[in-house]
Each structure stands twice: as structure tokens, then as C-alpha cells.
């Protein structure tokens, strides 16, 4: 009787060991699968950044700009690159030393340069009149805040196995290096749909985004990083980032399908002695 009990116990133990082993195997396979998928995702993300970098290094960038203004003989808009609305801030153009901004709250604690607050409020109000639900998800950022966001992105790339140098470079295609981001000027806002707040490619398909893409120029805002111009803007994909440039400039840019870099380059050719300056 004792022997039988002993066998039963052994059987139970064996069965339990089998179950535990199976669970372990499933667990290990899941972890391996997740790891492979994660690596693939990382690879895709890194590749996207590398693609943008390569695009930037090819002649496409210059060709794109030349294509825009090759037929232009006369300046057909009354704007100058020194206008405050046209402040160019990007990887190669840091925010000017000592730049200061007077802020005004628009809604939900979001602040922008007070000179653009009314236009932004009007744009949001008109979108809401159309039954849409736009939501500001990012506005003025201090340098410290930008630094924090950038550091987090660098950390993420490092976790994915990049060296510090690599991580810093790749992060910069997604989050502006502090001092080179428009949010620090108070002239830019990120707007999403209240119903869909994830910052991914589907954002562009929301009714809010479609309305903004079609109408933001009427309020002086330009979609700052058009996907098809990333070789010039050097920013991956941000269909939710709107930059105030003034109504006339935004209208011109929209009509001529220009991003800010191209538009500034276009204006520069009419400004004495500076035509050949490489801006971007
Ligand atoms: Zn933004």
C-alpha cells in the first residue's frame, strides 16, 4: 500500500514537473518570439532613421529646392526671411542666443507665443464648429523639457543596443535636439484628435487631421514636416505638428507645395548677397 502511494506521489511529482517544464518551454518560446519581434521593430525604426539620413545626404535635397524656384524671376510675396513668423529652427539652425518668448495660455494649460494665440484659438474653435474634436497635446516647451524628452528617446535607442553616439543621432530624427526644436519657440503646436491620441501614421487619417491639413493655412499654420519632404526637414513623420508662419506665408507654402526650408530658400534668392548661402 505504501509502495503504491509512493508511486502515486512520484507520478504526481513527475506530472507536475512535466507541466512546469511545458510552461517553461512555452514561456521561453514566447520570450524568444517577443525578442525577435522587438529586434525587428528596432531594426525597422533604425532603418527609417538611416533612410532619412541617407536622403538628406543625397542631392535630392538641393534638387528639390531648385525644382521649386527654377521658374521664378520675380518675388511674388511680400515677406522677408527676417520676419519673426519665419524664424527657421531645425537641426542646423539653433534658436538664436537669448531668444525670448512672451507666452499666452490657449487652453488646458497649453501656452504659445502670445502673437499666435488668437489664430490658434480661432482655428480650434472653427474646427469644433465643424463637429471635430481637436486636442493640443504639446505646445511651448522649455529647453529643460525638450532635453528630458530627447534624453528619454536616446535611452530607448540605447536599450535597443545602440552606442551612445548612434542613439543620439537616431533619436534626433524623432525628437529635436534641445535648442533646435520649434516647440521651444512657442510658435508650434502638436494637435491630435481627441478620439485618437496615438502619435502614429493613422493620425493622418483622422477627421481632425484631414481638416487641419486642408484649412490650417487660413489661420497661418503650416504642416511643418510633410512626409514627402523629410529629406529636407530631416524629421521622420509628424503629421500633427503645426507651425505658425502667418496667413500669407502659409497660403503661399500650401499653394506651391513648399516646406518651410524650401520657402525660406525661395525668399533668400531675392535678398541681396545671400542667395548662395546654404540654409538647410
Ligand atoms: Zn511637435
Q: 71 CA distance to ligand 1 centroid (A)? A: 33
**Averaged pLDDT of the chain:** 84
- Residues 9-27 have a mean pLDDT of 87
- Residues whose Cβ atom is located within 5 A of ion ligand 1: 190, 241
Q: Examine residue 276 and state whether it is found in any structural domain, yes or no.
A: no
Q: Examine residue 179 and state whether it is found in any structural domain, yes or no.
A: no
pLDDT band at 193 (very low <50, low <70, confident <90, very high): very high
CATH number of residue 100's parent domain: 3.30.1380.10
Specify whether 238 is catalytic.
Answer: yes
Q: Which residue has the higher pLDDT, 43 or 118?
A: 118
Q: 37 CA distance to ligand 1 centroid (A)? A: 28
Q: Examine residue 264 and state whether it is found in any structural domain, yes or no.
A: yes
Q: What percent of the chain has pLDDT over 90?
A: 46
Residue 230 pLDDT exceeds 80: no
Q: How many CB atoms lie within 10 A of CB 98?
A: 5
The pLDDT of residue 224 is 86
What is the DSSP-derived secondary structure letter of residue 77?
S
Question: 143, 150, 204, 209: which is closest to 179 by C-alpha?
Answer: 143
C-alpha dist (Å) from residue 94 to 56, 88, 98, 101, 166: 18, 8, 11, 15, 21
pLDDT band at 277 (very low <50, low <70, confident <90, very high): very low
Domain that holds residue 197: 58-140+186-268
The side-by-side arrangement of strands in the sheet containing 134-138 is 134-138, 188-193, 241-244, 221-223
Residue 132 pLDDT exceeds 90: yes
pLDDT band at 231 (very low <50, low <70, confident <90, very high): low
Q: 190 CA distance to ligand 1 centroid (A)? A: 5
Q: Examine residue 250 and state whether it is found in any structural domain, yes or no.
A: yes
Strands (E) located in the chain = 103-107, 110-113, 134-138, 188-193, 221-223, 241-244
Residue 41 pLDDT exceeds 50: yes
- Residues 62-81 have a mean pLDDT of 66
Query: Picking from 139-153, 183-197, 265-279, which range would have the lowest pLDDT averaged per residue?
Result: 265-279
Q: 10 CA distance to ligand 1 centroid (A)? A: 64
What does the pLDDT look like over 235-250, one tens digit per residue?
666 789 999 999 999 9
Domain count within the chain = 1
Q: 173 CA distance to ligand 1 centroid (A)? A: 12
Q: Examine residue 106 and state whether it is found in any structural domain, yes or no.
A: yes
Q: Would you state the cell numbers that stand for residue 122, as one nine-digit string?
A: 480661432
Q: Examine residue 252 and state whether it is found in any structural domain, yes or no.
A: yes
- Give the DSSP letter string of 159-177: HTT--HHHHHHHHTTTSPP
Q: Examine residue 216 and state whether it is found in any structural domain, yes or no.
A: yes
Burial degree of 251 (CB within 10 A; 0-12, 13-18, 19+): middle
Contacts 24+ apart (CB under 8 A), 154-161: 157/46, 160/42, 160/45, 160/46, 161/42
Set 85, 104, 184, 238: catalytic member:
238
What does the pLDDT look like over 77-116, one tens digit per residue?
889 999 999 999 988 899 999 899 999 999 999 999 999 9
Q: 225 CA distance to ligand 1 centroid (A)? A: 9
Q: Examine residue 74 and state whether it is found in any structural domain, yes or no.
A: yes
Amino acid at each position: 500500500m505504501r509502495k503504491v502511494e509512493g508511486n502515486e506521489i512520484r507520478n504526481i511529482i513527475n506530472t507536475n514537473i512535466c507541466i512546469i517544464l511545458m510552461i517553461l518551454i512555452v514561456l521561453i518560446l514566447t520570450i524568444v518570439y517577443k525578442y525577435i519581434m522587438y529586434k525587428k521593430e528596432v531594426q525597422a525604426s533604425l532603418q527609417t532613421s538611416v533612410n532619412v539620413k541617407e536622403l538628406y545626404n543625397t542631392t535630392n535635397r538641393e534638387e528639390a529646392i531648385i525644382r521649386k524656384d527654377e521658374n521664378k524671376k520675380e518675388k511674388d510675396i511680400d515677406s522677408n526671411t527676417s520676419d519673426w513668423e519665419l524664424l527657421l529652427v531645425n537641426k542646423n539652425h539653433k534658436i538664436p542666443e537669448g531668444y525670448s518668448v512672451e507666452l499666452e495660455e490657449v487652453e488646458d494649460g497649453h501656452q504659445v507665443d502670445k502673437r499666435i494665440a488668437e489664430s490658434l484659438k480661432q482655428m480650434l474653435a472653427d474646427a469644433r464648429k465643424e463637429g471635430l474634436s481637436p486636442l493640443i497635446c504639446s505646445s511651448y516647451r522649455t529647453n529643460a523639457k525638450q532635453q528630458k524628452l530627447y534624453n528619454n528617446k536616446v535611452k530607448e535607442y540605447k536599450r535597443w543596443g545602440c552606442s551612445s553616439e548612434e542613439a543620439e543621432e537616431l533619436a534626433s530624427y524623432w525628437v529635436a535636439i534641445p535648442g533646435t526644436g520649434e516647440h521651444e519657440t512657442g510658435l508650434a503646436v502638436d494637435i491630435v484628435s481627441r478620439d485618437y491620441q496615438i502619435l502614429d501614421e493613422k493620425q493622418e487619417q483622422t477627421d481632425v487631421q484631414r481638416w487641419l491639413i486642408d484649412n490650417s493655412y487660413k489661420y497661418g499654420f503650416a504642416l511643418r514636416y510633410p512626409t514627402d519632404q523629410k529629406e529636407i526637414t530631416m524629421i521622420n513623420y509628424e503629421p500633427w505638428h503645426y507651425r505658425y508662419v502667418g496667413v500669407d506665408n502659409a497660403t503661399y507654402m500650401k499653394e506651391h507645395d513648399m516646406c518651410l526650408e524650401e520657402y525660406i530658400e525661395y525668399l533668400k534668392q531675392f535678398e541681396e548677397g545671400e542667395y548662395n548661402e546654404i540654409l538647410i
